[in-house]
Amino acid sequence: MILVFNNDASEKDIQFAISKIESLGYKPHLSRGVIKTIIGVTGDDRSISEIEFNQLPGVEEVLRVLKPYKLASRDFHPEDTHVSVNNTEIGSGSFTVISGPCSVESEEQIEKSASLLHQYGFKFIRGGAFKPRSSPYSFQGLGENGLKILKKGAQKYGLAVVTEVLSAHDVDMVGEYTDVFQVGARNMQNFALLKALGTAHKPVLLKRGMMAKIEELLLSGEYIMKGGNSRIILCERGIRTFETATRNTLDIGAVPVIKRWSHLPIIIDPSHSMGDWHYVPAVSLAALAAGADGIILEIHPDPIQAKSDGKQSLNFDNFKILINRLKTLAGAMNITIQ
């Protein structure tokens, strides 16, 4: 970190900062420039916050040299992390398709979906039982009963379950049904939940908040890893911007950025980012081409009757067309769709 002093900082201010740096176990390097005085903090300061310093008297600004996360960084762990679930490895160079309905609605719906996914050789099914909804008047999910339906359908076809957990208190209960804990965008900074998942023994699919910088997504991953669980799959699902043509703005550039900064796998959510099934195939193909490790995709046997997110769900016919296009592209790239 580098402390930049303002022009009227006193000698006392500078000495105070030096003492503070030393008291934290770092070495200060003072440099009095033509215009500004700065102090470099030397040492591994990744795990301290700039707020230790930016409140000191005379300090105008604190510039970070090192990223504020460590365990999630590629510097710390140069090889790609592979997350093993259900005999597949996410992040190992294949392209993983996790799909299923937005909400679990009925046994029949899950049966149809699971059967289709099995037929295409996929290993995962997703579905929500506890639905965070902006309006109190919207469908809120089937709750634990939904999880039972989902697990039953998944087991019949040998699929791993991916479902959302909303609170630290639900981790044990949801853990009885799921193979992968999904942390939704609204919970990316639910730190109690992240800590609870840090000691869970199952992988975590961590979605980027719609207001979160990539750096903050990695810091949320750091919370989980600090607890001992490094089986994390990051997920870019669109950020909120001024553009209203799509539900969110898919930040496709996050894929190469995360591949460079971190060793964790990164998948894309084309459904929530677009909010309209018409646009889902284009960005799913883009995800593959950009180097993402997979997609998480909403499908529904009858989107017109869906209780949530029908507009952004592919019906089975369109799902099949997309999978074939993904396979063609993947073939040219020597990548397996799984």
Tokens representing 115 are 């059967």
Cα 205 to Cα 179: distance, rounded to the nearest angstrom: 10
Instruction: Tell me how far, at minimum, the Cβ of 254 lies from a copy of itself, in Å.
Output: 7
Evaluate the CA torsion angle 117, 102, 264, 258 in order and state its sign. Answer: positive
Q: Minimal CA–CA distance to 299: which of 110, 89, 95, 96? A: 110
Only one of the segments 82-90, 92-100, 110-118, 288-296 lies at the binding site for a copy of itself (rule: CB under 8 A); that segment is 288-296
Residue 30 is a binding residue for a copy of itself (CB under 8 A)? no
Instruction: Tell me how far, at minimum, the Cβ of 267 lies from a copy of itself, in Å.
Output: 14
List 12, 15, 24, 29, residue binding a copy of itself (CB under 8 A) = 29
List 28, 111, 148, 291, residue binding a copy of itself (CB under 8 A) = 291
Tokens representing 300 are 């529904």
Q: How buried is 268 (Cβ within 10 angstroms: 0-12 exposed, 13-18 middle, 19+ buried)?
A: buried
Question: What part of residues 96-155 is at the interface with a copy of itself (CB under 8 A)?
Answer: 132-138, 140
> What does the per-residue mask of binding to a copy of itself show for 191-230, with x meaning CB under 8 A?
xx----------------xxx-xxxx--x--xx--x----
List 11, 23, 51, 317, residue binding a copy of itself (CB under 8 A) = 51
> What does the per-residue mask of binding to a copy of itself show for 226-265, with x meaning CB under 8 A?
x------------xxxxxxxx--xxxxxxxxx-xxx----
Identity of the amino acid at 34: V
For residue 286, what are the contacts with CB-CB under 8 A and spacing of at least 6? 252
Cα 332 to Cα 94: distance, rounded to the nearest angstrom: 13
Count of residues engaged in binding a copy of itself, rule: CB under 8 A:
106
